[in-house]
Structure 1
Amino acid sequence: MKSWTFPIIVGSVFMLGCDATNDDDVPPFENDALETAMAKAMVSKNNQFALDFFQEVSENEEKENYMVSPLSLSMALGMVHNGADGDTKLAFDDLLGNDVSLDERNQFNKDLRKSLTTKTDGTDLSLANAIWIQENFPVAEDFTITNQNFYDAEVGNLDFREPEAVTTVNDWVERHTNGKIEELVEEFDPQTRLFLVNALYFKSQWKYRFKTEDTRNAPFYSSPENSVEVPMMNMNAEVPYFSNETFSSIILPYKKERFEMLLFLPHDGLTTKSIVENMSSENFNAWLEGYELSDLDVGVPKFKMEYENKLNDELTNMGLGIAFSFDADFGNINKDAPLQISDVIQKTFIEVNEEGTEAAAVTGVGIEVTSAGPSFVANRPFLYMIRDSYTGSICFMGKVGLP
């Protein structure tokens, strides 16, 4: 049987600075459309998707360090959702939220993207989308128009059989990830018909400063029996703190306090898997209610890593298996071509140091036819999360097992 491939790529970049600031003014990011009960329910559904996604990745990942971007993935899948029909559309509905219509979800993603996009003193966040279509391959006009209107997607034509197509896509990815991801694809299958990309870029400064002179080598226990010396950043600050029977956690705010990093450190004798296993939406919301401001000595290791993962199995386990099969129905892209997802790939990059954090993520989906005081010291494997405190949206989640 003749087949085509339709990949989708999600690009995410995360960059943070750590300069001190006393300027706590909040940028004008409020959006009345995100204050409705429906919008709040959709954020909750998005976060449930994020936590389920992270659990699936963590289940079989053997690497010490990894990071994913649930927000970038959900935005990319949101674009693909507009091309699905029949039972395939129902699978997307179940995964991304079937309590609202597709039009309402598109409008929510548009409002969320508008709210998150900001460029103010100390904070820069952008979301970019693109769709490339094989030259002379017919695609339903409603599909491209909808993604242009709600996702501000750039739409263009490429000949995926030519090497120039790889250059075009990788140049776009590098440009929209501030150079953190230089290469997303090495080559295209000649049967590729569409390629969708979402790029998420984020840069912000810490609210409380890690001073370079306070960084010193300290042991990091990758296991109870093994340790390595790592540069440990240190500071004393009054930050939100939470602890239960499994882990302790702090929230490190960024400048303007809209975005924040949550660190989750398992207690002695437990592992990060103990935390992941309990990361349900209900539990996570309960944890957020328990943080209290505490004056702490904080220690966080400097770390830098890159990560790549094909997410076909994870999304299949989450209920999207039909989209990867011969039974897939993407009739709202092309009613005559039996399209199916071939691959979903995400690439990420992150670096945390005194100057800040840089991170990038790219996901591709292919569719084919067919101290003396209280302290929090992350000196053993821990989890982290970057979230938007205004909407509650989870942007990035990761694990550090060996800085």
Structure 2
Amino acid sequence: MKMMRAAVGLWVLSAVICVGRGHHHLGHGNDQTVQDTVGDGSANSVSLVNEANKEFSFQLYRKLAADADSQGKNIFFSPASVSVALAALSVGAQGETHRQLFSGLGFNSSLLTQTDVDQVFQTLLQSTNNTSQEDASEGTAVFVDDDFKSKPEFLQTLKQSYFADGFNVDFAKATESADTINKYVEEKTNGKIDKLVKDLDPNTVMYLISYIYYKGKWETPFDPKLTKQDDFNVDENTKVSVDMMNMKDHFHIYHDHDLNTTVLQLPFNSSYSMLLMLPDVMATLENAICPNHVTKWLKAMVIPRRHDVYIPKFSIKTSYNLNDVLAVMGMTDMFGVRANLRGISEEPGLKVSEVVHKATLDVDEAGAEAAAATVIKILLGSSRFPPPVPVLKFNRPFMVIITERNTEKILFLGKIINPTI
């Protein structure tokens, strides 16, 4: 297989919403269609959705971190992809099901209509896919059973606002259908997610998929010759051996006293950055972190200072079934007999059977030359001998965010407890 010249390697993710025919009719909840007024795509709408997406990122992170299945494991996912998938689903939701989706995503229904949200996601997806400065792509697809009648306006909105590719498949041919979907996702994620769909339920009528792929090169690459074996302290009693990258240079670093956390910004040669957060106590950071912290850190990182930085190389894969987590966040009706997805089709009994999320993250030395971080030289004094360079070593559990610096859009978010698993 051809080697990828990846800087921080490849981040990929697919979130899947599987819609199937339930065995019961819809409940008699509030079936009133959500009335949309034509949105104006205003800056206000963009701002409201952006802020909601950022809040959703950390709320979803906390639910995943608290989940029993996540204990002792690395966490890594794309909030951006989950938001897109659920927003696309909300196009076909009505009544209480729609209200729960909007509320769970953090959208204020008195300030934002479905049309507003659709137009904002159209803008956000357009901006990601129009960027030529690095390898980034984001999008959606919908696979519909040959015998299922979807509402044309639902599919039209997905195509127009969420850039959805549309496919007709015969879900009765389970193996063939799974192969079709998996081949599509594998292609869109450069081979990183290859078996997204395994067991197809015969009641399945639709797969709604969102994917995101990112490959970035560091502004300043790490020298592979300086990478050495070192210990990583998983906890007080457990050490593992890792390949520890090292660089002595000028970095943007901020110490957040409120959270007792040191934050390192590693820019890619683009408008994206990776933020690495090394807390004294992980629970203090992950229970309190919010979008305002990210804004504060990025604003405070004005002057780069010389540090001796150590970061482990690692490659991780994660897989989540988000049903329970999303239900805890208030999105319950879509999974059961009360589901109201009549915006997708008038066929009775439609419900969401699964929301599945997979992600991978690879971090290594490759990259490109630095811009501001290497140009500015800060003298720490006029003494004849330079003072010792402070050391920042990521040799215990840390959090990671991949963000766009201008909009602070969070593409990926996670926690590395053990780089070797």
Q: Deviations over 1:137-180 (max 9, x none)?
A: 11111100000001111112111120210110000011011001
Give the conservation status (yes or no) of the 8 Å contact 1:241–1:250.
Answer: yes
- Structure 1 CA distance, aligned partners of 2:66 and 2:405? 27
Output the CA distance in 1 between the equivalents of 2:349 and 2:300. Answer: 50
Structure showing greater Rg: 2
Whole-Å Cα distance in 1 between the matches of residues 355 and 202 of structure 2? 17
Residues in 1 aligned to 2:6 and 2:208: alpha-carbon distance in whole angstroms: 26
Deviation at 1:68, TM superposition (A): 0.7
Contact in 2 for aligned 1:16/1:206 (Cα 8 Å): no
Work out whether 1:274 is the aligned partner of 2:292.
no
> Matches of 1:312 and 1:332 in 2, distance apart?
21
Aligned residues between the structures: 358
In 1, Cα distance between equivalents of 2:292 and 2:247: 32
SS at match of 1:181: coil
Paired residues of 1:296 and 1:373 also in contact (CA < 8 A) = yes
Q: How does 1:173-252 map to 2 (within 5 A)?
A: 173-245=185-257, 246-252=260-266
Specify whether residues 120 and 232 from structure 1 end up closer, same or farther in structure 2 by C-alpha distance, changes over 3 A only. Answer: same
**1:41-67: per-residue Cα shift (whole Å, max 9, x none)?**
321110001110111101121143221
Cα separation, partners in 2 of 1:18 and 1:73, compared to 1, 3 Å: closer
Greater Cα offset, 276-285 or 386-395: 276-285
Q: 1:88, 1:120 → 2: CA distance? A: 38
Question: 1:313 is matched by which residue type in structure 2?
Answer: D
Following superposition, the deviation at residue 350 of structure 1 comes to: 1.3
Are the counterparts in 2 of residues 34 and 391 from structure 1 also a CA contact under 8 Å? no
Does residue 1:55 correspond to 2:57, yes or no? no
1:81 aligns with one of 83, 90, 94: 90
Tell me the CA shift for residue 34 of structure 1: 8.9
Partner residue in 2 for 1:169: 181
C-alpha distance in structure 1 between counterparts of 2:315 and 2:89, whole Å = 32
Q: Distance in 1 between matches of 2:8 and 2:413?
A: 19
Query: Paired residue for 1:6?
Result: none
> Percent identical across equivalent pairs?
28
Residues 18, 205 of structure 1: 8 Å contact kept: yes
Shift of the 217–183 alpha-carbon distance from structure 1 to 2, 3 Å rule, reads same
Corresponding letter in the other structure for 2:389? G
Q: CA deviation at 1:35?
A: 8.8
Moved more, 258-267 or 57-66: 57-66
Provide closer, same or farther for how the CA distance between residues 338 and 40 of structure 1 changes in structure 2, counting only shifts above 3 A: same
1:398 maps to a residue whose letter is G
Q: Which residue of 1 aligns with 2:76?
A: 67
Q: Tell me, in whole angstroms, the C-alpha distance in 2 between the residues paired with 1:65 and 1:34.
A: 38
Structure 2: segments with no counterpart, 5+ residues: 10-39, 368-386
- Confirm or deny: 8 A CA contact 1:15 1:201 kept in the other structure: no
| Cα RMSD for the two superposed structures | 2.1
Give me the whole-angstrom Cα distance separating, in 2, the residues matched to 1:199 and 1:178: 11
Equivalent residue for 1:44? 51
| 2:41–2:116 CA contact under 8 A, matched in 1 | no
CA contact (8 A) 2:8 2:363 kept: no
Judging by fraction of residues, say which structure has more strand.
1
